[in-house]
Chain A
């Protein structure tokens, strides 16, 4: 079974801190994604990556950056945490599609990191 591991289940940080959320997958997947989930807003895509050292902005990249130095690891960075970044953060990975678009394979999610910024 694919395992996507997020380093922390719960995290409490102070406003202005630099925050690192780590995600590791063990199935050699090319695609990795970071979403945030908020009540009433569903899942919103922050950043995604299709290969090592590649990154693409999602729908809400402001205030975030990412790093993908190794294929199995995709890190989300909050440069200066703010209270409006309090949220559940979900990492996912998927293999590249063999035929057609890259996202025609199921995503495998981690259990999420619930971040509170005070």
Chain B
């Protein structure tokens, strides 16, 4: 089934640096979403970008979408220790006429103080 795949699997940076995570997917989509998960908790929605959008911002977050390359990136600027979490992309997919959201395996980001 269609799935977003994040890259890298793990990323370790210093506080204040920027963090970039990438997501690739296999088939056409209507939208792509990014989520954050703190250890042992549920996922929290960050940004939804539609297939006709190329870039979206939310605070220190910037998401880009390139449908020709079937890829998206999440940039966190001026990272903080509190940004330490796993980040997932999710794409919509149709299965047997039903729509669902399929998640990648995530990028584990560690921001060192």
A contact residues vs B (CB 8 Å cutoff)? 4, 33, 35, 40-43, 45, 48, 50, 56, 58-59, 90, 92, 100-112, 114
What are 15 A-B pairs at a CB distance below 8 A?
A: A33-B100, A35-B103, A40-B105, A42-B105, A50-B98, A58-B100, A59-B102, A101-B94, A101-B99, A104-B30, A104-B92, A105-B48, A106-B33, A107-B90, A109-B42
Distance in angstroms between the alpha carbons of A97 and B46 in the assembled complex = 18
Which B-chain residue is minimally distant from A42 (CB atoms)?
B105
What are the residues of chain A within 8 A of B69 when measuring CB–CB? Answer: none
Chain A nearest Cβ from B70, distance in angstroms: 18
Which A-chain residue is minimally distant from B105 (CB atoms)?
A42
Per DSSP, chain B at the interface is strand
Interface size on B, residues (CB 8 A): 28
